[in-house]
Amino acid sequence: MSIELEHDNRRRETRLEFNAAYRFYVDGGTYIGTLRNITRNGAFLGDGAAFIPTSSVAGIGDLYITDGDRELVYKAQVIYVQFAKEGPFPAGAGVMFIQSDDQHKALLDKLIADYQRSKAI
């Protein structure tokens, strides 16, 4: 099985299709679902993220990503919300990671690399 990677001129990092559970806490709300894709800079939150109100765009919250027995926690800022599927665009929310220290990037790199290896088998 191959991993589908996408890179276009709008993105600084390669986007990886990635299905992992998440919990996102922002502006007093709790949103639970499945990540749809991830980069070193951010992620697209599917499912429950479509219910994040537009008033939370630019809001900063705590994003918990669970992959097997690992749980990573990141500060993330809501960049946009898509309430319903429109053409090829699914419902959900785009978030940008606002932690940029080397330790967090290394953990995220390891999570992505492990996922790529598991899907390549």
- When divided into structural domains, the chain yields a total of 1
Closest to 26 (Cα-Cα) out of 40, 45, 39, 12: 45
User: Could you tell me which of 109, 104, 33 has the C-alpha nearest to residue 75?
Assistant: 104
d(CA 73, CA 6): 25
pTM of the model as a whole: 0.79
Average pLDDT of 58-63?
Answer: 96
Residue 71's domain comprises 5-120
| pLDDT recorded at residue 2 | 27
Whether residue 28 has pLDDT greater than 60: yes
- Is the pLDDT reported for residue 60 higher than 90? yes
Position 67 scores a pLDDT of 78
